[in-house]
Structure 1
Amino acid sequence: MRKVLVKLDSHPYFPDVWFTNSRVLYAQQVSKIRQDPAARDIDDLAGVVSSNDSRSQMVVGIFVGDSYVLVHELSHAVINVFHAIGMDANTVTTEAFAYLMESFYRQCTDHLNAWSVSNA
Structure 2
Amino acid sequence: MPSGDTVSKWRIIVRRRRHRRGAALTDSVPCVTFNPETAAVVRALKPRDYIEVTGSFRCRVFGPSAAKIWRYEVEVSSARPYEAELAEPADPVGDGGAGTLAVLIPRQIPYLAPAV
TM-score scaled by length of structure 2: 0.26
Task: Looking at secondary structure, tell me which structure has more helix per residue.
Answer: 1
Q: Which has the higher contact order (CA 8 A, sep 6+)?
A: 1
Of structures 1 and 2, the larger Rg is shown by: 2
Larger strand proportion of the pair: 2
Give TM-score, length-normalised by structure 1: 0.25
